[in-house]
Amino acid sequence: MESRDETMMEKHRVHLRPITLRDAAPATLHLLPCEVLASRPAPVGRFFTPAIRQGPDGLEVSFRGRSLRGEEVAVPPGLVGYVMVTEEKLIGKQDFLGDSENNYQEEEREPVAAPEPLERDFDRFIGATATFSRFTLWGLETIPGPDAKVRGALTWPSLAAVIHAQVPED
């Protein structure tokens, strides 16, 4: 093996497996107004979901003895949500090298660099395990409402599209 040093962090690529984007099953998501320090499996369907009630002006649930108020938030049209998981182990290169790397370049261009495969053996892989088009947004004791920061965030892609659109020629 070659030497691996700090610069590799800047050099390596994390390949997103395209197939996972089309096969992902829908996920149920809740955005909670509290910090949970752990990231691990949790019996959400046993203790949280069954306790959700439809109140007069929104959803209600009790979590850790506190009252939460919630509402559904849809992912804006034109966008799709994914739950992504980085693959733990580096996959042997035999699976991915050798078959037609660079095959998406439309034509030969100036030789800019020695031909190099897109996927190298020190690269990593990530894949979607689930997809989503909505989530439940919870506020502590009050409904998050239209001023919820995440709602502002969801307007970013449409603005970004304009910032990065090509400008007309003179």
Chain residues 22-61 in contact with another protein, contact rule CB under 8 A: 22, 27-45, 48
What is the C-alpha separation between 98 and 117, in angstroms, rounded? 8
Q: Is 120 in the site for another protein (CB under 8 A)?
A: no
Closest CA to 51 of 34, 64, 33: 64
How long, in residues, is the chain? 170
CA distance 26 to 129: 9
- 73-112 binders of another protein (CB under 8 A): 75, 78-86, 88, 90, 96, 99-107, 109-110, 112
**Considering the rule CB under 8 A, would residue 62 count as an interface residue with another protein?**
no
How many residues touch another protein under the rule CB under 8 A: the total is 105
> For the window 126-155, what string marks contact with another protein as x by the rule CB under 8 A?
x-xxx-x-------xxx---xx-xxxxxxx
Burial of 21 (0-12, 13-18, 19+ CB in 10 A): middle
DSSP 50: G
The residue among 45 and 56 lying less far from another protein, judged by its C-beta, is 45
